[in-house]
Structure 1
């Protein structure tokens, strides 16, 4: 089943002998939003997760994630809950924790961006007229690689 985004508004458990097969086979979800009433997440199985937005002030219980997931998943938590989430496993292991909901905007585009600095592949400052691989630092903060 292909599903990119999934909103979970309440606890989803299972009764021994029964199981929600449709939820267990969803493995390619990139973005989870977890509702404010959710207290337990025992089934997060997607390996493709990029973003988890938690709307619950109290961190839900959850199984551990992989080291790569802790490093790569963007975790959004309610405003004012950083101290609480930073003390609870597995949420305390995430590298990219931000308060507030994701806006979906990763970087603002600048219509007429200008080159602020030029560097060689070795990190030494140089000019645009130099040949080879050049790294351009733009005024917007964006970086670009140019091969001349």
Structure 2
């Protein structure tokens, strides 16, 4: 088992907090709203890799649902955004496949959540477009912030 040091744990806590705060920002749409939670998840995954992206993604989404009063979605969000963070953090030749898997898995988990929570086909289909848009917005903004961050603070 790998030993986790205080610096790494602190960084994960800060990135989880950042993603949680971004999740509180709501972008209105005709069918509801989008949050910027995915922006923090993609940024973390690009910057810190798969394992840390999964931890931050799952934990921040889990806590966001708790804070906003949607406890029925907490476990689904943990799985959906944890997987999203993991696959988005793939490097090299697998990066494109990882981003595709991150998007598809997040959407599919929320489709399954609609069925598990009793919303049926109507709820499942209605959520697809919003989840796709939120995922795409998060990917574009997360990658943009990652590029800007790595230009200002290049890795040594």
Which category describes the TM-score, using the shorter chain as reference length?
Answer: under 0.3
- Of structures 1 and 2, the one scoring higher in RCO (CA 8 A, sep 6+) is 2
Q: Which structure has the highest strand share of the two?
A: 1
Larger Rg, first or second structure (1 or 2):
1
TM-score (norm. length: structure 2): 0.26
TM-score for the superposition, normalised by structure 1 = 0.27
Larger helix share, 1 or 2 = 2
